[in-house]
Amino acid sequence: METVIANSNFKSEEYFINMGPQHPATHGVLRLLLTIDGEIIKKVEPDLGYIHRSIEKMCERDSYQQIVHLTDRMDYLSANINNEAVCLTVENALQLEIPDRVKVIRTIIGELTRIASHCLWWGVMGMDVGALTTYFYGFRDREMINDIMEETCGARLTMNYNVPGGLMFDIHPNFVKRVKDFVAHFKTKIPEYNRLLTDNIIFQKRTMGVGILTKEDAISYGASGPVGRASGYSCDVRKHHPYSAFDRVSFTECLETEGDTFARYKVRMAELWESLSIIEQLIDNIPEGEHRVATNAVIKLPKGEYYQKVETARGELGVYIISDGVKSPYRMKFRSPGFSNLSLLSHIASGGKIADLVATMATLDLVIPDIDR
Amino acid sequence: MTNEALQLLIKDWAPEAEFTEEGSQYLNVLVKPEHLHDLMEILKFNSETSFDYLFCLTGVDWGQALGVVYHLESTQYRHIIVVKSQTEDRENPRLDSVYDIWATAEFHEREVYDFFGIKFNNHPNMKRIFLTDEWDGFPLRKDYVDEINMVIK
């Protein structure tokens, strides 16, 4: 076949093709301008901003309690962790002593959020490469977490459970039992996930050796989360800059060295086990105490600059506040993991096929509102 | 490396740099735009500092001056430094791009250009990233006015 093409006088020509903004594999309103030659990708240029809401500008007008509500509209699959990030920044700036109970509950909820996010990612990843069943499996198990969240704080997606100073309510009396039930249930499901997708030879052929990212590039492009860790780059904020209760649990940072699409897949699958383990270590030892410490109705941060990083399901979220001492920040910046992870897409997808781009993009786990903010 | 040791090193490399730790958990360095690129290069490639991870790049409108804040971390030593640079030229603000040092800066600098209008010298693709090309003004500047879309409280 190849010799035929090589011997013929066909001239190839580069051309543009639009992928998105309404393409199912772009997971939201992301438009990719592909420069291709035949089916080989030469360049991927993302066109962003379809759902930009200028959250950073709105923050300059809002109070710190209000800002918390904006953050779960960024990466809506890590809503709780985003909320926590802002709350931690404000609490550190005010030097509030947060009760142990709050720290432990935040950690449990954060890990539940991570599992729910990874479940959705796993389902959608399978669907992107042509396996529709995974979607139903992933959503079935994610639903249990959503139910727990609903009972705890009344919301299923944008929780707003964290407030500066602690939690909006105490946990529901059923919380501990339901979380334990979920952990027991989910432990039997991950092997099922593996039988269905991970061990599938077609899936492996689609993902192995595709979209390779080296460790040096991962650091240079500011990759974080599973994307960075699949390239052997130790970047887990929970390990390097522990917050909440992560300093009192033992867990392994899941690292792979191949840096390809399958490695990113494996890291997330391994993280499911680690999250379950973290929850198990904490769920029986939730300390008694207050679920919230009082703050002033109007929170004014002392003049200065504050930075807090947390590990969301997608990677490192940074919250940077410049305060000049009034009720709203002078400047607020969210360093979102998706934005940096997207910036390396062109680098790792160039030279591959369009079908590989879909698989690669699925393991970058992009959430567009997180990129567009 | 401790902040004091870092400060001594940087004083050596960029004598005019100003330091402050006040009101920030990290060591802050303010450098003049003309020394920015040189200092950044040393910060990354010197084996003692090895700041290989640019984890946040923020545009800021300080009122008089427009500038950029770079948060750097070393993945080897895990120390963090904040580098700032600013220009008082609001009509045609320019800073040197650091995308050749950290690839992540390419997108982040485009974001800063989009919202603050700071142009980065030697940037490979200096155009808006979120807003449309015909957008008027730079929304995150403090003097930006948009009576239709902005709700002022």
Q: Residue A329 in contact with residue A59, Cβ under 8 Å?
A: yes
User: Can you tell me the mean pLDDT for A42-59?
Assistant: 88
Can the peptide bond before residue A21 be classed as cis, meaning omega within 30 degrees of 0?
Answer: yes
As for the ipTM of the complex, it is: 0.88
Residue A221: pLDDT above 60?
yes
What does the pLDDT look like over A310-334, one tens digit per residue? 999 999 999 999 998 888 999 999 9
Does residue B40 belong to any structural domain of this protein?
Answer: yes
Domain count of chain B?
1
Question: DSSP character for A294?
Answer: -
Q: Residue A345 in contact with residue A360, Cβ under 8 Å?
A: yes
The strand pairing partners of B54, in sequence order, are B72
C-beta atoms of A222 and B23 within 8 A: no
Residue A11: pLDDT above 80?
no
Question: DSSP character for A246?
Answer: G
Strand order of the β-sheet with A14-19 is A14-19, A31-37, A40-47
In CATH, what number is assigned to the domain containing residue B52?
3.30.460.80
Tell me what pLDDT residue A226 has. Answer: 92
Q: What domain range includes position B81?
A: 3-96
The answer to whether B109 faces chain A, any CB pair under 8 Å, is: no
- Quickly list H helices, chain B: 3-13, 33-45, 105-116
C-beta atoms of B69 and A219 within 8 A: no
Which is it for the CA torsion A270, A274, A280, A286, positive or negative?
negative
Tell me what pLDDT residue A10 has. Answer: 66
Does residue B51 belong to any structural domain of this protein?
Answer: yes
**How crowded is the C-beta side of B131, counted as CA atoms within 13 Å?**
18
Domain ranges, ordered by start, for chain A: 53-372
Q: Residue A125 in contact with residue A177, Cβ under 8 Å?
A: no
C-beta atoms of B71 and A347 within 8 A: no
- What backbone phi and psi angles, to 5 degrees, belong to B118? -80, 125
Report CA-CA distances (Å) from B143 to A62, A209, B89: 18, 50, 14
Above pLDDT 70, what percent of chain B? 98
Among the partner residues B56, B139, B152, nearest to A318 by beta-carbon distance: B56
Q: Residue A20 in contact with residue A26, Cβ under 8 Å?
A: yes
CB atoms within 10 A of CB A278: 22
Residue A6: pLDDT above 70?
no
Lowest-confidence range among A9-18, A160-169, A183-192? A9-18
Q: How many residues does chain A have?
A: 373
Q: What is the largest CA-CA distance in chain B?
A: 52
Hey, what are B53's tokens?
A: 């991870």
Amino acid at residue number A102: V
Q: Residue B107 in contact with residue B80, Cβ under 8 Å?
A: no
Judging contacts by C-beta atoms under 8 Å, the chain B residues touching residue A306 are 24-25
Residue A7: pLDDT above 70?
no
The strand pairing partners of A307, in sequence order, are A320
Does residue B141 belong to any structural domain of this protein?
Answer: no
B82–chain A nearest CA distance, Å: 11
Residue B152: pLDDT above 70?
no
Among the partner residues A61, A302, A316, nearest to B55 by beta-carbon distance: A316
Q: Which residue of B has its CA nearest to A302?
A: B23
Report CA-CA distances (Å) from A21 to A25, A28, A121, A368: 10, 7, 19, 11
Can the peptide bond before residue A191 be classed as cis, meaning omega within 30 degrees of 0?
Answer: no
Judging contacts by C-beta atoms under 8 Å, the chain B residues touching residue A372 are 130
CB atoms within 10 A of CB A290: 15
Residue A25: pLDDT above 80?
no
Above pLDDT 90, what percent of chain A? 32
Residue A14: pLDDT above 90?
no
- What backbone phi and psi angles, to 5 degrees, belong to B66? -110, 145
C-beta atoms of A344 and B153 within 8 A: no
Among the partner residues B23, B78, B103, nearest to A220 by beta-carbon distance: B103
Average pLDDT over all residues of chain A: 88
Interface probe for B, chosen from A307, A324, A373 (most Cβ of B below 10 Å), is A307
Q: Which residue of B has its CA nearest to A316?
A: B55
B16–chain A nearest CA distance, Å: 23
Q: How many residues does chain B have?
A: 153
What does the pLDDT look like over B91-140, one tens digit per residue? 889 899 998 999 999 999 999 999 998 999 888 888 888 988 888 888 88
The answer to whether B102 faces chain A, any CB pair under 8 Å, is: yes
The strand pairing partners of B30, in sequence order, are B18, B84
Residue B82: closest CA among B56, B118, B117, B64: B56
User: Can you tell me the mean pLDDT for A82-104?
Assistant: 90
Tell me what pLDDT residue A155 has. Answer: 87
Does residue B113 belong to any structural domain of this protein?
Answer: no
Judging contacts by C-beta atoms under 8 Å, the chain A residues touching residue B129 are 48-49
Among the partner residues A49, A316, A331, nearest to B130 by beta-carbon distance: A49
Q: What is the distance between the alpha carbons of residues B90 and B83, in angstroms, rounded to a whole number? A: 20
Q: Which residue of B has its CA nearest to A308?
A: B25
Does residue B140 belong to any structural domain of this protein?
Answer: no
Among the partner residues A56, A217, A304, nearest to B24 by beta-carbon distance: A304
Q: What is the distance between the alpha carbons of residues A63 and A25, in angstroms, rounded to a whole number? A: 37
Tell me what pLDDT residue A1 has. Answer: 47
Above pLDDT 70, what percent of chain A? 96
**Parallel/antiparallel/unpaired status of strands B80-87 and B27-31:** parallel
Does residue B112 belong to any structural domain of this protein?
Answer: no
Hey, what are A345's tokens?
A: 């897409």
Judging contacts by C-beta atoms under 8 Å, the chain A residues touching residue B75 are 219, 233-235
User: Can you tell me the mean pLDDT for A292-308?
Assistant: 87
Residue B23: pLDDT above 70?
yes
C-beta atoms of A306 and B102 within 8 A: no
A52–chain B nearest CA distance, Å: 7
Among the partner residues A220, A222, A322, nearest to B60 by beta-carbon distance: A322
Domain at A53-372, CATH from 1.10.290.10, 1.10.645.10, 1.10.1200.10, 3.30.360.10: 1.10.645.10
Average pLDDT over all residues of chain B: 86
Tracing tokens 């709105």 back to the chain, one arrives at A58
Does residue B125 belong to any structural domain of this protein?
Answer: no
A257–chain B nearest CA distance, Å: 16
Hey, what are A330's tokens?
A: 């002078």
B140–chain A nearest CA distance, Å: 6
Residue B15: pLDDT above 80?
no
What does the pLDDT look like over A57-85, one tens digit per residue? 888 888 898 899 888 888 888 899 999 99
Tell me what pLDDT residue A263 has. Answer: 92
Judging contacts by C-beta atoms under 8 Å, the chain B residues touching residue A366 are none
Q: What is the distance between the alpha carbons of residues A305 and B60, in angstroms, rounded to a whole number? A: 12
C-beta atoms of B58 and A333 within 8 A: yes
C-beta atoms of B56 and A234 within 8 A: no
